[in-house]
């Protein structure tokens, strides 16, 4: 049996991008999950350790990383077990796709070990199996960009149909992450089951506008289209100082500002590094008046997605 040990990385991501609830997502840089994996002689998946996040299950049948890996092993008929060591740099409940990073890393690592029978696009399906455990609903708007990199559009979950679209090369992402936790399941329960026709028409127009704005690199159109009639009006109540942070970021030059995933992180799109720096300082100014601990960072859209480190 091979003693080969590999390490993979799956980046964090931001989904529910403004008007694109459960449809749009993009990968970000540096943050994500590092997973070491190797075959074992016990014929089952084992999690040896988890670093960087408290309370995540070591039981393979409950952990999104190993659930995704097991789904792939079952499909290819692989009987060997895999031992995992997981290191997380994005905490659960942040709005930055923590569970998706874990699921993507598990599927990607398993695929590497068994000889890469699946393409990255095909691996999105296995990652979705793990992600479904975290949110109680099948959706791929975080796992798709984490796996593929770039900006993803999930046209359909069943059957799965994921598209990658172009975006401006100089677009920057600024994130303010208040250190509170918002669970995806909790945030989804807040949403209504229906939407008025008038709001739906607005939402559809903005979805089309945001796609066209990204692909044509039209920042003005991107900004005009970043209006969400579905999730933001409800979920923003979970995020301290959200309205003030959004207003001051736009005044500082952000193209658009919205909730990252289910929150509590907030993100802005900016044109270039200079604008991103100004928006970052604006976020800091808002939260300096509170007693909240807040993490801040800027990022490009990560074009690479999941990758093998060694």
Give CA separation, 78 vs 39, 72, 115, 243, in Å: 11, 9, 11, 51
Q: What is the mean pLDDT of the chain?
A: 96
User: Pick from 199, 249, 253, 187: which is nearest to 227 by CA?
Assistant: 199
Give 240's contacts (C-beta < 8 A, 6+ positions apart).
Answer: 178, 180, 264, 290, 292
Is the CB of residue 268 less than 8 Å from the CB of residue 174?
A: yes
- DSSP track, 138-185: ---TTHHHHHH-SEEEEEETTTTEEEEE---TTEEEEEEEES----HH
Catalytic residue among 131, 169, 257, 298: 131
- The pLDDT value recorded for residue 3 is 60
pLDDT tens, 136-165?
889 999 999 999 999 999 999 999 999 999
- DSSP track, 222-249: HHHH---SSSHHHHGGGSTTHHHHHHHH
d(CA 109, CA 82): 10
Domains along the chain with CATH numbers: 5-165+303-308 (3.30.230.10), 171-300 (3.30.70.890)
**Pairing mode, strands 81-88 and 20-40:** antiparallel
User: Pick from 159, 102, 22: which is nearest to 306 by CA?
Assistant: 102
Quote the percentage of the chain above a pLDDT of 90. Answer: 91
Is the CB of residue 261 less than 8 Å from the CB of residue 18?
A: no
- The pLDDT value recorded for residue 191 is 83
Residue 130 pLDDT exceeds 80: yes
Q: Structure pTM? A: 0.95
**Pairing mode, strands 46-51 and 81-88:** parallel
Least confident of 77-81, 180-184, 211-215: 180-184
- The pLDDT value recorded for residue 4 is 84
d(CA 102, CA 2): 24
pLDDT tens, 18-76?
999 999 999 999 999 999 999 999 999 999 999 999 889 999 999 999 999 999 999 99
Quote the percentage of the chain above a pLDDT of 70. Answer: 98
Q: Is-catalytic flag, 112? A: no
Q: Is-catalytic flag, 131? A: yes
pLDDT tens, 66-114?
999 999 999 999 999 999 999 999 989 899 999 999 999 999 999 999 9
- Name the pLDDT band for 303 (thresholds 50, 70, 90): very high
Catalytic residue among 65, 184, 232, 257: 184
pLDDT tens, 194-209?
899 999 999 999 999 9
Residue 308 pLDDT exceeds 50: yes
3-state secondary structure of 308: strand
- The pLDDT value recorded for residue 1 is 44
Instruction: State the DSSP H helix or E strand holding residue 268, giving kind and residue range, or none if neither.
Output: strand 266-271
- Name the pLDDT band for 174 (thresholds 50, 70, 90): very high
């Amino acid at each position: 049996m091979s003693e080969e040990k590999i390490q993979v990385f799956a980046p964090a991501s931001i989904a529910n991008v403004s008007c694109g609830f459960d449809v749009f997502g993009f990968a970000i840089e540096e943050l994500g999950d590092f997973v070491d994996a190797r075959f074992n002689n016990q014929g089952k998946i084992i999690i040896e350790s988890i670093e960087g996040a408290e309370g995540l299950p070591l039981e393979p049948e409950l952990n999104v990383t190993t659930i995704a890996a097991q789904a792939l092993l079952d499909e290819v008929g692989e009987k060997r077990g895999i031992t995992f060591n997981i290191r997380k740099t994005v905490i659960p409940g942040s709005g930055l796709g923590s569970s998706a990073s874990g699921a993507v890393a598990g599927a990607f690592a398993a695929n590497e070990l068994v000889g890469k029978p699946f393409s990255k696009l095909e691996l999105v399906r296995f990652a979705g199996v793990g992600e479904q455990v975290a949110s109680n609903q099948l959706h791929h708007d975080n796992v798709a960009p984490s796996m593929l990199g770039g900006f993803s559009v999930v046209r359909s979950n069943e059957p799965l149909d994921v598209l990658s679209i172009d975006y401006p090369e100089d677009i920057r992402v600024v994130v303010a992450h208040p250190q509170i936790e918002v669970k995806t399941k909790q945030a989804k329960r807040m949403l209504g089951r229906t939407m008025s026709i008038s709001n739906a028409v607005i939402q559809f127009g903005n979805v089309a506008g945001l796609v066209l704005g990204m692909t044509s690199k039209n920042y003005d159109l991107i900004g005009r289209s970043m209006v969400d009639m579905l999730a933001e009006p409800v979920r923003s109540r979970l995020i301290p100082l959200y309205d003030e942070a959004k207003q001051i970021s736009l005044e500082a030059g952000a193209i658009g500002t919205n909730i990252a995933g289910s929150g509590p992180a907030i993100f802005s799109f900016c044109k270039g590094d200079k604008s991103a720096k100004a928006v970052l300082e604006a976020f800091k100014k808002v939260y300096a008046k509170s007693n909240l601990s807040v993490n801040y960072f800027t990022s490009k859209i990560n074009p690479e997605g999941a990758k093998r480190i060694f």
